[in-house]
């Protein structure tokens, strides 16, 4: 297509050189204004001129941003062993699917035995202190026992109840149900249970490895509620609001366009003058992994406006122009077509069309505009100078 356009431009230029440059060389030649170009019928056909008019189009202004796939906090879980221990059993690898309540690994530690022993002994001691407290209470009422003995018995009884309550919480943290704990059911192992369904992002559960309480054994992600975390520049913050629609594509699959809706915008600007924007993916999509790179296009406006095809608008000296058709006239024995170059203001571009604002003196309902062949006219006018047909 470029080759054809170049040939056409050269042809027009050659045809334009058919006459003299000044009126002095040919008294019958009309000197044209600087912003006007004329074509005879043959040149008109070669230039591929097509005439049209302003169209009312709904154009949206689009902001291009980049980001990654992420998940809400409740869908991402780090699993640790509360008291640490040696990994005795684990069969899962990264990417393995897991369900809520599933056993992820088995941890072994002698401290588990000590904790259960202390709890059971405290429970047994509580039975004795409970009886002694009740006896001291009766003796105190009958003035047989001193207030000091009664208060000491009460304090020992309450302190032991506190200790037992604390032990119950510690055992619950490592997964031991105290309601089922008996003297003949003390265990040295605990099971690490998955708190959510999803898949394993990472695992560090090597058999025989000692895991500290602060070490992360597994990272689990539930990918049912994937969201977009986008990076928006400061200059565009006021153009985006909750509820706006956007299109996005995955970097590894740019052919498929998906949609999302903005639901949260960050309230603080980062050091690099950006803010985070979060959008909910509208369709159920499988295979999304946290950290996947995406390109997104946020639609900021939907305005009905006057527009022309992009081919109708030409650029020269950092300004935008169109050509309007002024009609035919006779020049000697030839019929020529006049076109006027007009500077215009442009706005939003979308889907092959651009918003155009005509000068006030032009009636947009009556004017005929060159929608194809505008670059041929621009080249002919600039290359031919004052030459005419």
- What CATH number does the domain containing 13 carry? 2.40.420.20
Q: Is residue 363 part of a domain?
A: yes
Q: Is residue 152 part of a domain?
A: yes
**Which residue would you say has higher pLDDT here, 236 or 29?**
236
Instruction: Show which of 204, 221, 238 is a domain's final residue.
Output: 221
Domain count, the chain: 2
pLDDT at 313: 95
Using CA atoms, how far residue 153 sits from 13, 119, 130, 255, in Å, is 114, 20, 9, 78
Q: 322 and 347: one domain?
A: yes
Query: Mean of the pLDDT values across residues 211-235?
Result: 89
| Measured distance CA(362)–CA(23) in Å, rounded | 30
Q: Is residue 274 part of a domain?
A: no
275-297 in b/e burial notation, b at 16+ Cβ within 10 A? bbbbbebeeeeeebebebebebe
In terms of residue numbers, what domain contains 56? 2-60+304-384
Q: 105 and 39: one domain?
A: no
The chain-wide mean pLDDT, for the chain, equals 84
51-77 in b/e burial notation, b at 16+ Cβ within 10 A? beebeebebebbbebebbbbbeeebbb
Neighbours of 311 (CB within 10 A): 15
Instruction: Write the pLDDT tens digit of every residue in 298-310.
Output: 877 666 789 999 9
- What CATH number does the domain containing 171 carry? 2.40.50.100
119-150 in b/e burial notation, b at 16+ Cβ within 10 A? bbebbeebeebeeebeebeeebeeeebeeeeb
pTM here is 0.53
Query: How confident is residue 156, by pLDDT bands cut at 50, 70 and 90?
Result: confident
pLDDT at 88 over 80: yes
| Measured distance CA(371)–CA(352) in Å, rounded | 12
Residues 6 or more apart whose Cβ sits within 8 Å of residue 215 = 80, 81, 84, 204
Q: 31 and 146: one domain?
A: no
Q: 82 and 187: one domain?
A: yes
């Amino acid at each position: 297509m470029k080759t054809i356009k170049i040939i056409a431009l050269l042809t027009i230029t050659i045809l334009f050189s058919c006459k003299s440059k000044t009126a002095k060389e040919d008294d019958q030649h009309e000197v044209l204004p600087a912003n006007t170009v004329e074509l005879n019928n043959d040149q008109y056909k070669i230039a591929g001129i097509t005439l049209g008019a302003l169209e009312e189009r709904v154009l949206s202004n689009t902001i291009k941003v980049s980001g990654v796939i992420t998940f809400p906090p409740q869908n991402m879980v780090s699993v640790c062993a509360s008291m640490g221990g040696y990994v005795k059993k684990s069969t899962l690898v990264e990417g393995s699917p897991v369900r809520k309540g599933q056993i992820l690994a088995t941890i072994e530690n002698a401290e588990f035995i000590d904790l259960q022993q202390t709890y059971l002994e405290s429970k047994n001691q509580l039975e004795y202190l409970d009886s002694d407290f009740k006896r001291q209470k009766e003796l105190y009422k009958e003035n047989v026992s001193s207030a000091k003995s009664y208060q000491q018995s009460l304090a020992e009884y309450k302190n032991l109840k506190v200790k037992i309550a604390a032990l119950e919480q510690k055992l619950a943290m490592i997964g031991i149900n105290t309601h089922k704990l008996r003297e003949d059911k003390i265990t040295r192992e605990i099971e690490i249970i998955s708190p959510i369904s999803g898949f394993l992002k990472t695992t560090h559960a090597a058999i025989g490895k000692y895991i500290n309480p602060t070490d992360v054994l597994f990272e689990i992600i539930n990918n049912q509620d994937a969201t977009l975390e986008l990076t928006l520049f400061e200059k565009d913050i006021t153009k985006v609001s909750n509820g706006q629609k956007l299109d996005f594509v995955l970097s590894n699959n740019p052919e498929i366009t998906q949609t999302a809706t903005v639901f949260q915008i960050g309230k603080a600007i980062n050091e690099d003058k950006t803010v985070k924007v979060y959008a909910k993916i509208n369709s159920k999509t499988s295979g999304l992994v946290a950290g996947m790179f995406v390109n997104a296009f946020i639609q900021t406006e939907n305005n009905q406006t006057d527009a022309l095809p992009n081919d109708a608008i030409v650029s020269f000296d950092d300004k935008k122009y169109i050509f309007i058709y002024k009609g035919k006239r006779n020049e000697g024995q030839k019929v020529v077509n006049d076109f006027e170059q007009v500077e215009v203001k442009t706005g939003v571009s979308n889907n092959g069309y651009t918003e155009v604002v005509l000068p006030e003196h032009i009636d947009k309902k009556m004017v005929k505009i060159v929608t194809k062949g505008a670059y041929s006219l621009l080249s002919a006018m600039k290359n031919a100078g004052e030459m005419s047909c």
